[in-house]
Each structure stands twice: as structure tokens, then as C-alpha cells.
Chain A
Amino acid sequence: MKQLNELATPFATVAESSDLPGQDLPWLQALRQRALTQFSTAGLPAKKQEDWKYTSLWNLSQHPFTHQAVESTVDAAQVEDLALLDDAYRLVIVDGVYVATLSQLDDLPVGLTVRPFSASLDSVKQQLGQQVALDKVGLTALNTLLMKEGVMVHVAADTVVDKPIELLVINSGATADLATHLRNMIVLDVNAQATVVEHYVGVTDGVNFTNVVSEVVLAEQTELFHYKLQQESHQAFHIATLAAKQAAGSQWHTQNITLGGKLSRNDVHSRLEGEQSHTTMDGLYLLNDEQHADTHTRIDHLVPNTTSNELYKGVLNDECHGVFNGKVIVHQDAQKTDSNQYNHNLLLSRGCAIDTKPEMEIYADDVKCGHGSTVGQLDMDQLFFLRARGLDDVTARSLLTHAFAVDVLARLPSETIRQALSAVIEQRLPRGEKS
């Protein structure tokens, strides 16, 4: 297959003509220039590359996108409706544009900064691009070249943020074929603790392309609960990279729920650079129609005494296609690593397919590493049990599927968020007559 260099959208020329922030900052211009060089040579990743073996970006490359959003009509009531959490600090981006009037950032506590990316360029200078590699994936280069908006969260040392911070990204559908390139920076200073929810929502079922890169920097003894909920339209392209660097004693708990998108791809990467640091990577992809969801995770254990837990579950219906690839790399110095990784998939109908590959690369001996992967169906005995108690077939199946799916929510402590996510998942399952 040829390289996906011939794109329908001339992204490189978009960079010249558009109103990207930071035109006056030489360091940022230099970074964008590097990204341009990289993207011009690499193009979009092709299926020939091992990491893209099961996911073709051909349709993405052939779709003509626009970068100019027309004004949308999303109002406050709609935002209330779409938001996952009632009580949260909220930054709202509609069609790639930060909307101050819809955001709730007035009464931020001392030590917490939440600002749109475009207004925080100076403060992110030191760390921008440090967590992701430009040369690895053409899409990160594309994001770096065109990044325009996003959220910058900074939590000062010894601060425990009292409420979750919700980044609500809405695609209103007002602009057809809109492409947005978002960049989020989340930085926690020593001993800080916070909860961040990244929430992507599509209002209509139009085509759009969201390309987001979230960088996380965790200093010593920090703890970040990081949720990502993707509910874009079933025609959308959603490409996301989440990358964290973790210092000693830090904990990064991620939960990554994929419900929307025609084609979605998540790259989640953590680097455990300090001792006693820990990563939780949990996630769910619940797909139907002809959705295609690809999740690639990678955990690098670089120093001794680090731990990681990973659990991804997949529920596949109709003609959808799920891809999971989990990589755990234990580097030579990383003795006493304790890591486990699970991927369980439920196939519910003919026509769906799953390709899963849990990987381990281990270069240290005194470690405890395990992984498991399963593909199967609902348990007929359990189904019989529910049917015998009067539930109709559809309800019984939905109940069992829901139980299978919400298992991934169990490990994170926030009851409010768990209930909100559980409800979102429940809405996606078919309802029987008697429910």
C-alpha cells in the first residue's frame, strides 16, 4: 500500500493561511516548522506500519476537511444537557473554539489554573511536546503543526482540587467536515491531586475530524484521576493521544471510554520515570454499526519499584471492528516491577471482528508481569437464569452486557463520575419491552 501522502485536505497550506496562535513566538514557530517537515515526509501512517496493521486511514486521507468553523448556536442549556458532570469546573470548546460564556471557570480555588491553550502558550513553553514524539506518528506532527485550542490545567504544589475539571469539547455540526486539532496540557506540581474529565461530544451525525493530543506531567507524589469519554457522531474521525511522564511516587489513573466515532484511535502512553510511581489504564470500547475503534496502550517501566494495572474491555455489536494493542515494556533497570494487563472482549453479533494483541517486552528479571486476553460471548447459564426470572431476552442481554462493561469503572474512586459513566453506557444498550 502506498504511503498516505496524497491527502484530500492540503494540511500544510492550511498551516500558512490559518490564524494559529503564537505566530509571534519564535520557539513555537520553530516547533511547528519541525512538525511540518516531519508530516511532509511521513504523511499519515499506512497499514504497512505494525502499529497501524488493523486500522486504515485511507478514508480519512481522502476526505476533504475544512478548518474554518462558522458560528454555532450551542447555548448554555444545551451545555448543561451535554456535560457529564453537574458540579465541576468546566471549560467548553465548541467547534474548536473556546467559548468563555459557556465555561464555568470563575471561582477556581487557589493553586488551580484552568485556561484555554491559546491563552497559555508562555506557560506551557517548557513542557509542550516533551511527552510525545514527533517522529513516531504523523498525526502528532499534524496536531503540532495545526494545534489551536485545548485546555491548560495547572495545579500548584500541595493543592488538592475539590471538584473535577471537565473539558467539554462539542462538535455542533454547524460546520460540515470540520477538522479540529486540540492540544491539552495537564501539569501537577509536587504533592498535588486533581480529577480531569476530557469529554468529546457530537451533537449531529455529521462528519468531523478531531485530532487531540493530551500531555500530562506529574511531579513527585501527585495523583491524577484522568477520565476520557468519547461520544462523537458515528460518522466522526477521532484520533487521540494521551501521554504522561510520571515522577517518583506519582499516580496516573486513566479511564478511557469510547462510544462514538466511525473511526477512532486512542494512543495511551505512560512513562514511569520515578520509583514508586503507578499507572492505572482502564478503558472500554462499546461499538455498534460499522464503527472501528483502535486502542494502543504502552507503559514503560523505566526505574525499579513501579507498578501498573491495565484493564480494557470491548463490547462489539453489528458490523463493528475493535482493535486492542497493549504494550508493557520493563526496561533493564526496572527491577521489582509489578504489572498486569487484561483485555476482555464480548462479541455479540455476526459480522463484528476483534484483533487483540497484548504484548510484553521484559529486560529485567526480578519482575512480576502477566497479561491475559479473552474473546467470548455472554454466558448462556446466566442468560437462562435471568430469563427464568421473567426478563425478556433483550433486557437480559443488556443487563449482562452492562455488567460486563461497567466492570472497568470499578477501580476509580469517584462515585459521582462512576454513576454518570454507568448511565451513559446503559443508554447505549438496547432496551427490552419490560424494562
Chain B
Amino acid sequence: MAEQKQQIEEFVPSEYSAGFVTEIESDSLPPGLSEETVREISRIKGEPEFLLEWRLEAYRHWLTLETPEWAHVNYPEIDYQAISYYSAPKDKKDGPKSLDEVDPELLRTYEKLGVPLEERARLAGVAVDAVFDSVSVANTFQDKLAEEGILFMPFSKAVKQHPELLKKYLGSVVSYRDNYYAALNSAVFSDGSFVYIPKGVRCPMELSTYFRINAANTGQFERTLIIADDDSHVSYLEGCTAPMRDENQLHAAVVELVAMDRAEIKYSTVQNWYPGDENGKGGIYNFVTKRAACRGESSKVSWTQVETGSAITWKYPSVILQGDNSTGEFYSVAVTNNMQQADTGTKMIHLGKNTTSTIISKGISAGRSSNAYRGLVRIGPNAENARNYTECDSLLMGDTCAAHTFPYIEVKNPTAQVEHEASTSKISEDQLFYCKQRGMDLEDAVSMIVNGFCKEVIHQLPMEFAVEAQNLLGLSLEGSVG
């Protein structure tokens, strides 16, 4: 046992491989937040009046709110006046027209991260709306998508080209009144992605966007809005890595999904923000509001997430099952190591008839980390024959980590069937013994068992992500066996 522990310590402080800083001059607002900051962001982005008004309302509402304290996480108070709320690469004025015009430094960054841009993008069949800090610098496959009538563009562009869609859907799933961080995001969001899939269109490729926090001390406030009209289908990938920083950085994003009649949205995330070092120094605060509305009948939204990064994760991708026969799914793997803290889960709000939801959550904690599942399943009084199945399992590695489960189940309809089960254990000695006895070393054995533990979730990911996710799991947990 003692020998094993030693082996663990050799492996645990594995370097954060995406931890490099791209040296590009940034065009930033000075730190600080006031009504003036909000107006300035809106002015820089040349936004229409209605959006500025909306931002200001959100800002004024945010001032009345208090920081939420209920999550099972600890962190020093955030000084919102010390954050710069806007940062963009310098050369954005002219806007790159092709990949040749994109700053080569930037391209090299993506290369190191393995972003499938340029040739690789086409080979992988992925259209990338790569968000570098706050402004989108490169878009691929626009033409191909345009042929189908699909809109996939940076938020700032959508504001100018399709203000009517934004006016209709922005904030309709996550109101700025929703919570503290959603209000903050609504006031100062810089950019993000906008997707509209017209009626009856099946998006021919996986849509993908990479977020990166680059300039130091810049909060990143992304906003994603995806609308799938009747009978459409889209699969959207989101991946994150961030360079190594010693100061904590705030990331408060909002993601809104709208699925109309018989539409299907699949939203996959691999999150690998910088988690801080082994003493809990630095790392990203990831306070995200993600919510989907199944507005139409027989619509379906599926969230899949692999969370390995961030010092603190505070994230509950939710589905509001409004339409009859609609389906919500949540597949999650959350890995915490060293001093990481995760409080994550989902909410399934059943309002329509014959709605079903499935929740599969796998938590793995190692080091001195803390990993909590917090979920809500609510069956409204009119949700006839609603069905939910929830399974959350936790794996503990080492005697200093923690795993928690806080499932809320609220049922107001007697035809509902709700099942919840959860288990917590460590990697079984027997399984390890079995593998080692057959000649595998400890490393491979642990990796294999962990991958088996997470298989149900990893299988939900699109191919490109599944490979990356498996690598990430291995990387995050090398040798952390208890």
C-alpha cells in the first residue's frame, strides 16, 4: 500500500500540457465594471439599441444580487472590479478573410492544442468557429453550411445580420434574472457562437468551437445560442483548454438551446481549463449556466460533458421538457484531482406529457479534491406519465478526496416514475489484482478500470471527442490509485 502511494505521488503532479501563453498584443478595456463598461463593450461591438438596453437591465439586476453560497465549494471572494471585461486580439480591425491572414502565432497555438483547423479541419469534417479570447477570428465551412441555410457564426456577427432572431430567442431560456453569474454574463458578454438550423435540415457536420482564455486577468464571458427549428438535427461540440496562470480567472458563460417540434440537439463538451497547481494555486473558476428548452413536441436535447479541468466547476446543464413526448439526457464524467472542486449536475424539469429523462453521472475524485453531484428532477402536476432514470456513481482515489451526492427529487404527479441510484466506492483491490496478475502495470490497470467506469458516458461523445476525452482522463489521473 505504502509503495503504491509513493507511485501515486510520482505521477500526480503531471504537468498541464496545454499550459502555454500565446504572445499576442491584446486590445483590452481597463479592469473594472460599471454601467460605463457595459456601454463601452456594446459600443465596441457596434450593437443595436435593444441589446444595449438588455445588457443594462441585466447589469442593474446584477447589482441587486448576492453571490450564491449554496454550492459545496470554497474560494476567496472575487473582486469584480479587478477584472477586465473585454479583450481582443489587436489585428481584428480588418478581420482576416482567409486563414493566411490569421496571425501565425495564433495558428501555432491551435496547432499545439490539436484544434482541427486548416487542412486538419477538412479532414476531420469539423467546422470550427474558433473563439480566441473574445473575438472570433476564423470560421470554416461557412459556405457549405450556408448552402443548407444553416447559420453558424460569431454572436457579434449574428447581432448585425439576424437581430430579429436574437431579439426573439436571446435570454428566453436563461433570463438575466436567472442567477448571479447569468446576470453578470448578460451584462458584459463579449462574444460566442450563434447557431440556427432551419426546418427539416439535418446539419451535415459536427459544429465545433474552441474557447481559450488567453490574456491574463481577462474574464471570459461567452454566450452561445443554438436554435433547432422543427424536424432539424444538430450536434455541437465545445472544447476548452487554457494556458497556465497563477491568478484565478473567472469564466461565466451562458449557453441557451432551443429545440422546436421533433428537433434534436446534441451538445458535447470537453472541458480542460487550467485546474491550478497541486497546491490549489491558480486555475479557472468555471461558473456556467447551461440550459435547454425542449419547446416542441417530441424534441430531444442531450448534454454530454467530460469535465477534467478548472479549479472550481459550478455547472448544471439543464433541460426544460415543455413539449409533450420530449426527451432530455445528461451524460457526465467529472474528474477532480489535487485541489480541484467540482459542484456539477443537471436539472430535468418535466412539464409536458410523456416526457422522459436520463441522467448518468460519473464522478472521479483524487488528490485532495472535492467532487459533488447536485441534481434536480422535478415532475410538474401536468406532466402525465413522466419518466426519469438517474444513476450517479463516484470513484474515490486516495483518502484525502471527497465525493458528495445531492439529488433533489420533486414529484407532483402520481403517474410519474422516478428512479435514482447512487454508489460510491474506490477501485476494487480485486480488479487491480486481477489486472496486475495478468501482467499489466498499475498505470494501465487503473486507466483501464477508469475508462470502463466512464464507458457509458464516453460512448455518447462524437468520435473525435471520445479519443480526446480518453486521453484527458488518463492524463488527469495518472497513477492516482488508492
Chain A residues with a Cβ under 8 A of chain B: 50, 332, 335, 345, 347-350, 352-377
With A365-B399, A369-B425 known as contacts, the answer to whether A50 contacts B418 (CB < 8 A) is no
Of the residues A349, A353, A368, A370, contact of B411 by C-beta under 8 Å: A353
Q: What separation, in Å, do the CA atoms of A355 and B394 have in the docked complex?
A: 23
The residue on B at minimum CB distance from A322 is: B411
Distance of B411 from chain A, by nearest CB (Å): 5
* Contact A50 B70, beta carbon cutoff 8 Å: yes
Distance of A141 from chain B, by nearest CB (Å): 24
* Contact B414 A350, beta carbon cutoff 8 Å: yes
Q: What separation, in Å, do the CA atoms of A346 and B477 have in the docked complex?
A: 42
- Residues of the A chain whose Cβ atoms lie less than 8 Å from the Cβ of B401: 363, 365
Q: What separation, in Å, do the CA atoms of A354 and B412 have in the docked complex?
A: 7
Distance of A294 from chain B, by nearest CB (Å): 14
Q: What separation, in Å, do the CA atoms of A369 and B416 have in the docked complex?
A: 27
- Is B420 an interface residue, CB under 8 A from the partner? yes
Q: How many A-B pairs with Cβ below 8 Å?
A: 108
CB contacts under 8 Å to A, within B402-432, are 402-426
With A353-B411, A372-B421 known as contacts, the answer to whether A361 contacts B399 (CB < 8 A) is no
With A347-B411, A354-B409, A355-B408 known as contacts, the answer to whether A362 contacts B416 (CB < 8 A) is no
Q: How large is the interface on B (under 10, 10 to 19, 20 to 34, 35 or more residues)?
A: 35 or more
Distance of A372 from chain B, by nearest CB (Å): 4
Can you list 21 residue pairs at the A/B interface with Cβ under 8 Å? A345-B411, A347-B411, A347-B416, A354-B409, A355-B410, A357-B407, A362-B424, A363-B401, A365-B396, A365-B401, A365-B426, A368-B424, A369-B424, A372-B419, A372-B420, A373-B418, A373-B419, A374-B417, A374-B418, A374-B419, A376-B417
Of the residues A345, A361, A375, A376, contact of B402 by C-beta under 8 Å: A361
Q: What separation, in Å, do the CA atoms of A358 and B375 have in the docked complex?
A: 11
With A365-B398, A375-B417 known as contacts, the answer to whether A359 contacts B406 (CB < 8 A) is yes
The residue on A at minimum CB distance from B391 is: A372
* Contact B422 A367, beta carbon cutoff 8 Å: no
Q: What separation, in Å, do the CA atoms of A374 and B388 have in the docked complex?
A: 10
* Contact B420 A358, beta carbon cutoff 8 Å: yes
- Is B125 an interface residue, CB under 8 A from the partner? no
- Residues of the A chain whose Cβ atoms lie less than 8 Å from the Cβ of B403: 360, 362
Of the residues A345, A357, A369, contact of B408 by C-beta under 8 Å: A357
- Residues of the A chain whose Cβ atoms lie less than 8 Å from the Cβ of B175: none
- Residues of the B chain whose Cβ atoms lie less than 8 Å from the Cβ of A372: 419-422
Of the residues A348, A353, A367, contact of B426 by C-beta under 8 Å: A367
The residue on B at minimum CB distance from A365 is: B396
Of the residues A348, A356, A366, A369, contact of B414 by C-beta under 8 Å: A348
* Contact B402 A368, beta carbon cutoff 8 Å: no
* Contact B420 A362, beta carbon cutoff 8 Å: no
- Is B397 an interface residue, CB under 8 A from the partner? yes
- Is B171 an interface residue, CB under 8 A from the partner? no
* Contact A353 B412, beta carbon cutoff 8 Å: yes
- Residues of the B chain whose Cβ atoms lie less than 8 Å from the Cβ of A365: 396-399, 401, 426, 482
With A368-B425, A369-B425, A372-B421 known as contacts, the answer to whether A362 contacts B404 (CB < 8 A) is yes
* Contact B409 A359, beta carbon cutoff 8 Å: no
* Contact A367 B425, beta carbon cutoff 8 Å: yes
* Contact A377 B417, beta carbon cutoff 8 Å: yes
Q: What separation, in Å, do the CA atoms of A363 and B396 have in the docked complex?
A: 9
Distance of A126 from chain B, by nearest CB (Å): 35
The residue on A at minimum CB distance from B388 is: A375
* Contact B414 A370, beta carbon cutoff 8 Å: no
Of the residues A349, A358, A366, A373, contact of B399 by C-beta under 8 Å: A366
Q: What separation, in Å, do the CA atoms of A352 and B411 have in the docked complex?
A: 9
With A365-B426, A372-B422 known as contacts, the answer to whether A360 contacts B399 (CB < 8 A) is no
Q: What separation, in Å, do the CA atoms of A345 and B426 have in the docked complex?
A: 30
Distance of A178 from chain B, by nearest CB (Å): 34
* Contact A363 B417, beta carbon cutoff 8 Å: no
- Is B400 an interface residue, CB under 8 A from the partner? yes
Q: What separation, in Å, do the CA atoms of A365 and B1 have in the docked complex?
A: 14
With A370-B424, A374-B418, A376-B418 known as contacts, the answer to whether A360 contacts B411 (CB < 8 A) is no
Q: What separation, in Å, do the CA atoms of A362 and B409 have in the docked complex?
A: 21
Q: What separation, in Å, do the CA atoms of A354 and B410 have in the docked complex?
A: 6
Q: What separation, in Å, do the CA atoms of A343 and B405 have in the docked complex?
A: 15
The residue on A at minimum CB distance from B482 is: A365
Q: What separation, in Å, do the CA atoms of A363 and B394 have in the docked complex?
A: 12
Q: What separation, in Å, do the CA atoms of A335 and B419 have in the docked complex?
A: 29
The residue on B at minimum CB distance from A340 is: B423
* Contact B422 A364, beta carbon cutoff 8 Å: no
The residue on A at minimum CB distance from B408 is: A357
Distance of A93 from chain B, by nearest CB (Å): 37
* Contact B414 A352, beta carbon cutoff 8 Å: yes
9 smallest CB-CB distances across A and B, nearest first, come from A347-B414, A365-B396, A375-B418, A372-B421, A370-B423, A373-B420, A369-B424, A360-B405, A353-B412
Distance of A51 from chain B, by nearest CB (Å): 12
* Contact B402 A363, beta carbon cutoff 8 Å: yes
Q: What separation, in Å, do the CA atoms of A294 and B40 have in the docked complex?
A: 52
* Contact A362 B396, beta carbon cutoff 8 Å: yes
The residue on A at minimum CB distance from B426 is: A365
The residue on A at minimum CB distance from B379 is: A375
Distance of A400 from chain B, by nearest CB (Å): 15
With A332-B400, A350-B414, A365-B399 known as contacts, the answer to whether A358 contacts B482 (CB < 8 A) is no
The residue on B at minimum CB distance from A349 is: B414
* Contact B411 A373, beta carbon cutoff 8 Å: no
Distance of B310 from chain A, by nearest CB (Å): 21
* Contact B409 A357, beta carbon cutoff 8 Å: yes
- Residues of the B chain whose Cβ atoms lie less than 8 Å from the Cβ of A350: 381, 413-414
Q: What separation, in Å, do the CA atoms of A332 and B398 have in the docked complex?
A: 11
- Residues of the A chain whose Cβ atoms lie less than 8 Å from the Cβ of B381: 350
- Extra A-B contacts (12), CB below 8 Å, given A354-B409, A363-B401: A347-B411, A347-B414, A350-B413, A355-B410, A357-B409, A358-B407, A361-B402, A365-B399, A366-B426, A369-B424, A369-B425, A372-B421
* Contact B422 A371, beta carbon cutoff 8 Å: yes
- Residues of the A chain whose Cβ atoms lie less than 8 Å from the Cβ of B400: 332
* Contact B415 A377, beta carbon cutoff 8 Å: yes
Q: What separation, in Å, do the CA atoms of A276 and B419 have in the docked complex?
A: 32
* Contact A375 B399, beta carbon cutoff 8 Å: no
With A353-B412, A355-B409, A367-B426 known as contacts, the answer to whether A374 contacts B420 (CB < 8 A) is yes
With A366-B399, A366-B482 known as contacts, the answer to whether A358 contacts B404 (CB < 8 A) is no
The residue on A at minimum CB distance from B393 is: A370
Q: What separation, in Å, do the CA atoms of A402 and B262 have in the docked complex?
A: 43
Distance of A369 from chain B, by nearest CB (Å): 4
* Contact A353 B410, beta carbon cutoff 8 Å: yes
Q: What separation, in Å, do the CA atoms of A365 and B369 have in the docked complex?
A: 12
* Contact B422 A360, beta carbon cutoff 8 Å: yes
Of the residues B396, B404, B406, B420, contact of A367 by C-beta under 8 Å: B396
Distance of A359 from chain B, by nearest CB (Å): 5
- Residues of the B chain whose Cβ atoms lie less than 8 Å from the Cβ of A367: 396, 424-426
